[in-house]
Structure 1
């Protein structure tokens, strides 16, 4: 698998910490704004922390089956690697000092996240920002004499889309029915399908099908003369809608628990169980009990807390922070 990774060295702990959280925000923006996957942003518990790190920060997504996926991490390493490996720099006082380090990365598991967060029973549903083909044009005709007119309109449409910086293609494969082609492109997750037949050419319109919706509401008609503007606007709408759908699914599968027996019963049920938003006192023993009895782990302790104290889900002792637990990949 492919891995994107970065390491930085800094003169102060503050600079390193700023870099750590800065890269976490870069990852959050990419995953939420480009991949359309909503996230929980937080720090890891000591048990889930990268070995040797002072703090590990994570972005966590919830997949369609109710299991969590760690989508990226950023680590504040302090001087825990600089000292044993003698990584120093010469400061402005001409003195050798140990550096403060960070490490951060994401991998091609994000491809899996796209599949598991957005896919449906028909196959992939790709966010337009990262779809290699954003729109596919399917010419439809039966008679040879219809072909020339329809293909000419399809190629004119392709030219208009390309000029508008839309990644488009025409499906001119022979020996396949339109229905096969429709299903094929749906499975591949192409955001927009444009159907052009003889009647469409005559009326100056095309049928547009959007992958983020199903049934009758997925189709509409658009003027061939303004097709580029229509598709461009639609791609932006699809991008937002895929995020909204995934966000709604995450909210629906996030539950607050204040009773351990109810939490355990829920996690023992079928499926992944979703996110459990609970008070946790921070005691590793309570975290271990949850992991051993439910297979759920601490995915993230949100960076933003409401400041309201509560009681630990497991032991009942005072707790100042809420944490998200879930079964994960």
Structure 2
């Protein structure tokens, strides 16, 4: 039965898209709903999201932000107030036209994001510099009517947090924008073991209505990039549209400087595609709802289950521990928890009880280790740390190995023709026409202008004119 379970996963190198679909369903992260492009997040998938959410929420609060909640619906007239913003979201907006049997006098938008709602609220509560800064965040669902969907990566409805802040000065808003991007980077690297590239989006790729957008970009196993979190400096554009003004320290009226920033359930998709393998999901210990799964061996024999439950109670002091005492065969259980990516499996049977030991099995490498009970807590803690570090190193090595420098346009195009394109570093003149041509010719888009600039040439890779900056390009989800 166990072998049949494993065979149902398509091999990654055979069909990566199908492999991904197999993993999210077989590992019981999601189920499909009756609405196209919408997913049911099952308990295990939601437990992973809660772990990520809790880690991020703690950091958001530590940086002085408060959680609030905004309405689900936005009146059309309110959405129209910021021209660039509504134009950017218009193709993805879902509209409510009826309430019960009655047609509404004004259409309501199901929020694709909440800048305008926060703008309206901030106008009512900000009057003086003493009211600033306003550091708000909300955990919510949003709707974007996507044409092509894939679980976690792109769905009609998804879960996220969206921070919205108001500041006295441009400098304060700049600091906030950078700070929150760093928080996102820390969650990706320290919790999810996903290395990221930090940088600024081009004008073409920035958030609709923003002054500028910062991003963290990660690289998936198949060589495609994924935008993993964004932080936007909105300047005073929304403040002017909504009339958010305050009396400054000299008594003059000023517009606030705003930021917004978001991190979504798509990061679970990133975790799957960065760490997963042909046996299924691999969850980094710091993100795992269950870090250790105890599987009793020959549990029908006297004392085995009692021993397993004693171990669970003991180890729960240092880790998140589960136990499978069901009557399924051990082989089935092994495959089940490999599929779900549980970092460590602990096996304990009659022989182990006699010899005062257990067997620990690493999910990432499959390595087995026999550990005496008097060293178990210490060895288990070390193993979880080793797995976390090993997953990050493996992902970082993959990122390094699949980041290429292109000095000529022919070389750039050759990289994009590879099965695994990866990131391409190339100089750019800053002209939108070159950015458009690169996308049209190769399918690669500008992912970010990295903060850590490396001057690798004098000429734009596309047009040959004087280069302005280094850009990371890639095919992306």
State the TM-score bracket (shorter-chain normalisation).
over 0.9
**Equivalent-residue separation in structure 2 for 1:46 and 1:68 (angstroms):** 19
Q: Is the 8 A contact 1:207 1:219 kept in 2?
A: yes
In the alignment, is residue 325 of structure 1 matched against residue 447 of structure 2?
no
**Equivalent-residue separation in structure 1 for 2:456 and 2:227 (angstroms):** 27
1:124 Cα deviation (Å)?
Answer: 0.6
Q: Is the 8 A contact 1:309 1:321 kept in 2?
A: no
After superposition, residues 105-120 of structure 1 pair within 5 angstroms as 105-120=262-277
User: Of residues 235, 242, 245 in structure 1, which corresponds to 2:394?
Assistant: 245
* Cα-Cα RMSD: 1.3
User: Of residues 442, 451, 469 in structure 2, which corresponds to 1:303?
Assistant: 451
After superposition, residues 9-158 of structure 1 pair within 5 angstroms as 9-141=166-298, 144=300, 147-158=301-312
After superposition, residues 110-259 of structure 1 pair within 5 angstroms as 110-141=267-298, 144=300, 147-164=301-318, 166-174=319-327, 176-214=328-366, 218-259=367-408
1:270 Cα deviation (Å)?
Answer: 2.8
1:201 Cα deviation (Å)?
Answer: 1.3
Q: Is the 8 A contact 1:125 1:189 kept in 2?
A: yes
Flag as ranges the 4+ runs of structure 1 deviating above 3 A. Answer: 306-309
| Secondary structure in 1 matching 2:261 | strand
Which whole-Å deviations, capped at 9, do the CAs of 1:246-279 have from their partners, x for residues lacking one?
11111111111112112212212334x1111111
Structure showing greater relative contact order (alpha-carbon pairs closer than 8 Å, 6 or more residues apart): 1
Q: Is the 8 A contact 2:407 2:457 kept in 1?
A: no
| Secondary structure in 2 matching 1:93 | coil
| Secondary structure in 2 matching 1:2 | strand
Which whole-Å deviations, capped at 9, do the CAs of 1:64-101 have from their partners, x for residues lacking one?
11110000000111111111221111212222111111
Which whole-Å deviations, capped at 9, do the CAs of 1:84-137 have from their partners, x for residues lacking one?
221111212222111111111111101111111111110110011111100011
Q: Which moved more, 1:192-201 or 1:225-234?
A: 225-234
Which whole-Å deviations, capped at 9, do the CAs of 1:48-70 have from their partners, x for residues lacking one?
01122111000000011111000
| Secondary structure in 1 matching 2:395 | helix
**Equivalent-residue separation in structure 2 for 1:319 and 1:118 (angstroms):** 36
User: Which residue does the alignment assign to 1:313?
Assistant: 461
**Equivalent-residue separation in structure 1 for 2:334 and 2:458 (angstroms):** 53
1:307 Cα deviation (Å)?
Answer: 4.9
| Secondary structure in 1 matching 2:285 | coil
Which whole-Å deviations, capped at 9, do the CAs of 1:155-187 have from their partners, x for residues lacking one?
2211111122x110111110x221111010000
TM-score (norm: length of structure 1)? 0.94
Which whole-Å deviations, capped at 9, do the CAs of 1:201-237 have from their partners, x for residues lacking one?
11111111011113xxx11111123322211111111
User: Which residue does the alignment assign to 2:412?
Assistant: 263
Q: Is the 8 A contact 1:160 1:227 kept in 2?
A: no
Q: Is the 8 A contact 2:293 2:346 kept in 1?
A: yes
| Secondary structure in 2 matching 1:163 | coil
